[in-house]
Structure 1
């Protein structure tokens, strides 16, 4: 029966109408996945030797164990935002003599082979092999590896239980940030505490079996939840939900763009894909930690400029590149209303600028790394507000791909076209090139001053730019209506 289910899904995937249309994007996504698999494999094989060389007085396994607690919580946050339960089209199967238990077990079993679970194994398994070859206790390493596999699978099923709860995300995110803060400001030694847990499992591998109990409990909870939903009447019944409205009266102060701002806020918070973009923008705040804390990047200033743009530009870059496709489901209705197109575009601009400003204020802790780093982040924020926001609005006039907002963002290529890849060049490489030229031939300070100056000049020319962008959208209005009217 399992093979039959797999065969049906294989046919459904390759016979779908959008398969050939999006084959180029799927190939690119495949290369990205392959890249990360190879990268994790390389780290898994060489990680032990790198740690032993850089920290000769410490045990590489203990170093890895010390940071596993942060990795597990970070993985849960990432899964919440990006992972979705792999489902099959079971509605047609409900009228056939197939046991519902088998359908549910198949769906849950399929989730165990998610790329989210496999990716981590490309580090843990080769790392464990290296440990055994280097003389570590085989039973201890195998117990440690079994624990990591069980934690990965437990996180997989835990995510499906909490995935619709924003409170769960806030709790996990707060816990992760809190633990990082406690460690960073030396209020508590979280690293040693987390490391001691996994060191204990290595020394006493029998305790890895506790993970089996946890996994079984989480699997059963998922099974009961999904089993209760697999009924034909539930599949064909119209789903009725109570609409929860938030008080957005404060937006009225924004004038003519207020109605559009309100609609955008509702659209972002009520749909999975846009909510993912919104929440992921706060994770981009930590992007700079990858570059600002590593000695390898201290002399590569253009790369620091690249990181500075992402710190405050997470929302602008991810939300802006799909304007106006976010509204594709109701674009015909919008275009039939009596309003000036300029107001519709300005609402998007206000939203991007507001989020960039909020993220900039949240980036103040980067002052810890010095005023030069923070000035670079400031320059990046000004560039995002002035140049990138306007450029993304213009680039949006070339979008012709419809987006289903209810679908998850991970692995979802809806709305993606060559436009999204081409606009990365001016958005990211242009400020890096500017910074490199002036830093090399004039001086360090001039680099981020020029980047900020381009943002300020763009901001001063905003009205002229918006007039030009509005004309482009009006010119392509009916082409967009036709394109967005087609099923993705």
Structure 2
């Protein structure tokens, strides 16, 4: 098994992608380390954050209860985004290696995934700072192993469920409805699920035999994932991502043929002056938006606007010229018969990643303003689920070319009346929602409603992108004609 890990490391280190894109890989590594450090800081100061938001006496009990919702959201995020590691299986078939060992490899390697590392960075600092001094080593050790077993079990369960229901949108909608019911039951004071979960986990931690229950769940979930992969892998299955790999050894391989278009998009941003300067100016808007929070903390509509300003600080400058970035080579893209669905999907992916980066950069500000704990996640969901689709939709009606070598400042090249029209639906929809909440006198739930709309947009992502692709197919000749008229 160790040789398989070593072979994959050699393949990654020797790949052409690593040698040609060292800067991009280093940049992604820095961003990943930054994300992990943010979770470490949140975990270390979790007891103080809980005391400031919920003035309770037992922060450990409350933190353990909140882990229930972390696990639920963690499972949903894994189901939507996590891809299991791949392995080139053909070269090993002629060697005396058992097929079971090849199946175990991607499952074991998934334990080193980002979501598991985030859980470790969140729980271990809290364990060291708060749990051990309060409950002692024996209780704390069982508590830690129980929580980590639940996090890793979520990893294996998400894989199993995704294998069986990834192509069924009914399951996704049902899970979103289930999540809404759980939140309503708990926070609507119908039944306190978080306190019950905390009581069970603390009870297990207080017994010397308690650690066997989460370990049993971990073992069962692992072998369920193993059995699922064993029963479903096929060497000639083009859609099977678990036992094959595309060219190169990079995280982009997991997105199939979309990876090539996405890589071109990232290189366009890194190598050209205008997209880099646009993102730099957007980056400066994040601390500016944070300063605006100090002026008014009670107006929900203003909070929504400031949250949108921060979360979309990087995504909107990119989305403003979403198709115009390729104005100089748009005819070449069409002549090469590029799959427009993958082309639009890569645009959506870049837009979403930039929004997530803005959200991550705003995480340290939570220490100064607790309202960001609800505002920014809701705005992130809305930006990815709704704003991204509106940007792509209106981008189909823009046909003004731009020069990538010019600076962004005081440069109005490519700007059209459509850029001003985009603001109306992007900010108008939340404003209408807020007006409806005002009528029913429930403005306190406005941010949650905005987040639910964003989740619905994410669930309907494939349908909405398909409509945009059809619109782009109808408009591509007019767009190309506009790009040629410089």
* Category of TM-score, reference length = shorter chain: 0.5 to 0.7
Instruction: Give the drift of 1:50.
Output: 3.9
- State which of 169, 172, 175 in structure 1 corresponds to 2:172: 169
Instruction: Give the drift of 1:66.
Output: 2.1
Mean CA deviation greater in 186-195 or 79-88: 186-195
Pairwise CA RMSD: 5.3
Contact 1:390–1:466 (8 Å) recurs in 2: no
Mean CA deviation greater in 72-81 or 295-304: 295-304
What's the counterpart of residue 19 of structure 1?
18
CA distance in 2, matches of 1:297, 1:116: 35
Q: 1:428-447 to 2 correspondence within 5 Å?
A: none
Matched, 1:101 2:111: no
Secondary structure of the structure 2 residue equivalent to 1:98? coil
Instruction: Give the drift of 1:58.
Output: 2.1
- State which of 211, 216, 232 in structure 1 corresponds to 2:214: 211
Instruction: Give the drift of 1:209.
Output: 1.5
Contact 2:116–2:151 (8 Å) recurs in 1: yes
CA distance in 2, matches of 1:194, 1:387: 41
How many residues are matched? Answer: 332
- Summarize the Cα distance change of 1:386–1:42 in structure 2 as closer, same or farther, 3 Å threshold: closer
Matched, 1:38 2:43: no
What's the counterpart of residue 180 of structure 1?
183
Query: Structure 2 regions of 5+ residues with no counterpart?
Result: 241-254, 260-289, 326-330, 349-370, 409-414, 428-474
Instruction: Give the drift of 1:189.
Output: 2.7
Secondary structure of the structure 2 residue equivalent to 1:95? coil
What's the counterpart of residue 307 of structure 2?
307
Query: Structure 1 regions of 5+ residues with no counterpart?
Result: 242-269, 275-290, 326-330, 338-343, 353-368, 401-418, 420-425, 436-464, 477-488
Instruction: Give the drift of 1:108.
Output: 1.8
Q: TM-score, normalised by structure 2?
A: 0.54
**CA offsets per residue over residues 416-465 of structure 1, 9 Å max, x none?**
xxx9xxxxxx99xx98xxx9xxxxxxxxxxxxxxxxxxxxxxxxxxxxx9
CA distance in 1, matches of 2:30, 2:84: 23
**CA offsets per residue over residues 162-205 of structure 1, 9 Å max, x none?**
11413443333222121112234333333333333333233335
Q: TM-score, normalised by structure 1?
A: 0.54
What's the counterpart of residue 72 of structure 2?
73
Mean CA deviation greater in 15-24 or 306-315: 306-315
- State which of 196, 199, 223 in structure 2 corresponds to 1:196: 199
Q: 1:385-404 to 2 correspondence within 5 Å?
A: 390=394
Q: 1:315-354 to 2 correspondence within 5 Å?
A: 335=335
Contact 1:100–1:227 (8 Å) recurs in 2: no
- Summarize the Cα distance change of 1:189–1:134 in structure 2 as closer, same or farther, 3 Å threshold: same
CA distance in 2, matches of 1:296, 1:195: 38
- Summarize the Cα distance change of 1:125–1:386 in structure 2 as closer, same or farther, 3 Å threshold: closer
**CA offsets per residue over residues 65-92 of structure 1, 9 Å max, x none?**
2222111110000001111111221121
Instruction: Give the drift of 1:219.
Output: 1.6
CA distance in 2, matches of 1:152, 1:296: 40
- Summarize the Cα distance change of 1:471–1:80 in structure 2 as closer, same or farther, 3 Å threshold: same
What's the counterpart of residue 222 of structure 1?
225
Q: 1:107-126 to 2 correspondence within 5 Å?
A: 107-126=106-125
Instruction: Give the drift of 1:103.
Output: 1.6
CA distance in 2, matches of 1:56, 1:302: 27
What's the counterpart of residue 145 of structure 1?
144
**CA offsets per residue over residues 445-486 of structure 1, 9 Å max, x none?**
xxxxxxxxxxxxxxxxxxxx999854355579xxxxxxxxxx
Instruction: Give the drift of 1:150.
Output: 0.6
Q: 1:468-487 to 2 correspondence within 5 Å?
A: 469-473=479-483
- Summarize the Cα distance change of 1:200–1:29 in structure 2 as closer, same or farther, 3 Å threshold: same
